[in-house]
Structure 1
Amino acid sequence: MNSSLSVQYIQTPRLHIAYEHHGPADGAPVILLHGFPYDPRGYDEIAPELAARGYRVIVPYLRGYGPTRFVSPDIPRSGQQAALAQDLLDLMDALEIPQAALAGFDWGGRAACIVAALWPERVRCLMSADGYNIQDIARSTQPRPPETEHRLWYQYYFHTQRGVDGLTANRRELCELLWQLWSPTWDRGRELYDLSAPSFDNPDFVEVVIHSYRHRFMYAPGDPSLEHIEQALAQQPPIRVPTIALCGGNDGVGPASEEDEDIGLFTGPYQRRILPGVGHNVPQEAPQATLQALLELLEA
């Protein structure tokens, strides 16, 4: 963790959310959201730059990461997409933020996309790594091309007890492997991984991760209190807020295609940019491109 930062906490109905704060408390809010298996370190070159321009920047640790904790042992350790979105809404409510600019990738990008789609009045603008990031769970069991199935091996691993045991015993090594596979051309991954790895020691990390990758394939039930959100997401709602999608040309999970398959799901101002030589961890691999996209949206 950046030694100049202090972690702050806010309580929501489900979580004690740990977050890092940059910039003036009265600045226009920007919330930066990490994914799996990453943490707020992905924004270390972006958050200070936004703060220097007067923005109030909030970088939370998602459920199951770092110092964030559930408020009760009775709350399901769900990793489903609706839970991530509800956590983001709860964070904004607890911090009394009526509207914010959102940026995210992987799990965090999914939370940002969902809030932008279902609660557009809460979102000033959106930077989404890899475009429309809302899961179409009803179609999740349909076979995909073999090269795609190959890249999703870790998800199928997590569907098994062997995967649970493997993630429990080898979380540092497994997550480092995913960093390498998903960002194959990034020469700083090994250097920076050790800064993020402690966040995976959270006591709920394994349970949240396993549930995430089982729920999206309908192999685990969701949190009943979030079912109304999942039903709304099953309609694949469009995103109407101003959006820039940044896609890694060398993303080891899903390399960006030339054709924009998501364009029909964005009905507001929208741009898509493919970043050559960039993998899955877009903000940390391409901080200047990420910052530029955010500033364009914020200053429009």
Structure 2
Amino acid sequence: MNLFKLPLAALLAALLAAPLMAGATQSSCAEPFACIRQVDAGELNVGYVDAGPADGKVVILLHGWPYDIHSYTDVVPMLTGAGYRVLVPYLRGFGTTRLRAADGVADGEPAAGGADVIAFMDALKIDRAILAGFDWGARNAAIAAALWPERVQGLVAVSGYLISSQQQASQPLAPEAELQWWYQFYFATERGRAGYAANRHAFARLIWQQASPRWQFDNATFERSAAALDNPDHVAITISNYRWRLGLETGQARYQALAARLASLPPISVPAITLESDANGAPHAAPQAYAQRFTGPYRHQQVSGGIGHNLPQEAPRAFADAVIAVTQF
């Protein structure tokens, strides 16, 4: 396209539609979440928010399922106001993040998610970062911290140490605990795959309500995030994630070595803060069950006030304060 031959209005439209260069700051964007950037990173082309000063300490915020980057809408300005550069990527299968290869594998195994974090950092030429997340995002962050500690300055993880193995997941739980994982068993069936594909927004709303029973989110808040589930890879990656946990999928050969290391439940030696909320309706372990997995500077914090599973969106100040605190250990 020859921009010099375009009328002024068309020229402006073309410039606004053009992809932004990876690594540049978003200082000219009044609303960071309206300026989604894209970068090739490993298997993925990742959509992400980039906010704050270019020379600030880097914080990468990782969302969960079935949520999206808007879990951090209120956290981001708190951190950028404190001088941090904040990156918020869509996880694989969400929003504008896509598999790069037309024949790419929609793999949801944990090792892939952890590797995605490092690939994203490599793509943006970030040597070290503070990682923070909840749900799938907390797991991805914990995996990166355990396997690549030299790349992680600090870790904030909701619900603690979420690394597990297929062998560990194969052990039966008490009936009331198994009941909390109803969707995992649903996804093990083809009926479940078809049901999720046909009803992903309604499904997500139900999970939000169960996981955060006291959070009175409005429809606009929900729909803003639910749009990220319309990603063409989303259903396959979600099904892969939960089937892998039950040992129904083996994962890709490229991640076997990483998966083997994760099966040993490696310790996390980087400075870490774990958070738990007082009204978390999603399955989660008691803090004393995972405290010994953190071998570096560590503390646990309980967040009260009827806060549910989506802690950064429900209690953004507590989450942002934990990110700031972990850098001061």
TM-score by length of 1: 0.96
C-alpha distance in structure 2 between counterparts of 1:209 and 1:135, whole Å: 17
Which of 78, 84, 101 aligns to 1:55? It is: 84
Q: Deviations over 1:116-138 (max 9, x none)?
A: 11111100000000000112321
Answer with 246-255 or 264-273: which moved more: 246-255
Give the unaligned 5+ runs of structure 1. none
Q: What number of residue pairs does the alignment pair up?
A: 298
Do structure 1's residue 273 and structure 2's residue 301 form an aligned pair? yes
* Cα shift at 1:232: 0.3
* Cα shift at 1:13: 2.5
Amino acid at match of 1:262: Y
SS of 2:327's partner is: helix
C-alpha distance in structure 1 between counterparts of 2:35 and 2:252, whole Å: 32
Q: Deviations over 1:142-197 (max 9, x none)?
A: 11011111110011000001100100100000011000000001122655211101
2:45 alignment partner in structure 1: 16
CA 1:224 to 1:65, structure 2 compared with 1: closer, same or farther past 3 Å? same
Backbone CA RMSD of aligned residues: 1.4
SS of 2:61's partner is: strand
C-alpha distance in structure 2 between counterparts of 1:82 and 1:101, whole Å: 19
CA contact (8 A) 1:251 1:279 kept: yes
SS of 2:228's partner is: helix
Do structure 1's residue 109 and structure 2's residue 138 form an aligned pair? yes
Percent of pairs identical after alignment?
A: 43
CA contact (8 A) 1:248 1:256 kept: no
CA 1:221 to 1:4, structure 2 compared with 1: closer, same or farther past 3 Å? closer
1:36 alignment partner in structure 2: 65
Larger Rg, first or second structure (1 or 2): 2
2:103 alignment partner in structure 1: 74
Q: Deviations over 1:36-82 (max 9, x none)?
A: 00100000111111112221100000010001111112221001100
* Cα shift at 1:4: 5.9
Answer with 222-231 or 3-12: which moved more: 3-12
2:212 alignment partner in structure 1: 183
CA 1:216 to 1:189, structure 2 compared with 1: closer, same or farther past 3 Å? farther
Which of 146, 159, 174 aligns to 1:145? It is: 174
CA contact (8 A) 2:170 2:246 kept: yes
CA 1:70 to 1:255, structure 2 compared with 1: closer, same or farther past 3 Å? closer
* Cα shift at 1:255: 5.4
* Cα shift at 1:289: 0.7
1:120 alignment partner in structure 2: 149
CA 1:233 to 1:73, structure 2 compared with 1: closer, same or farther past 3 Å? same
Amino acid at match of 2:236: E
* Cα shift at 1:220: 1.0
C-alpha distance in structure 2 between counterparts of 1:168 and 1:4, whole Å: 26
* Cα shift at 1:5: 2.9
* Cα shift at 1:273: 1.5
CA contact (8 A) 1:247 1:274 kept: yes
1:156 alignment partner in structure 2: 185
SS of 1:166's partner is: helix
Do structure 1's residue 262 and structure 2's residue 290 form an aligned pair? yes
C-alpha distance in structure 1 between counterparts of 2:92 and 2:118, whole Å: 13
Answer with 276-285 or 207-216: which moved more: 276-285
C-alpha distance in structure 1 between counterparts of 2:272 and 2:140, whole Å: 14
Give the unaligned 5+ runs of structure 2. 1-30
Amino acid at match of 2:98: R
Answer with 22-31 or 197-206: which moved more: 22-31
Which of 208, 211, 221 aligns to 2:237? It is: 208
CA contact (8 A) 1:247 1:256 kept: no
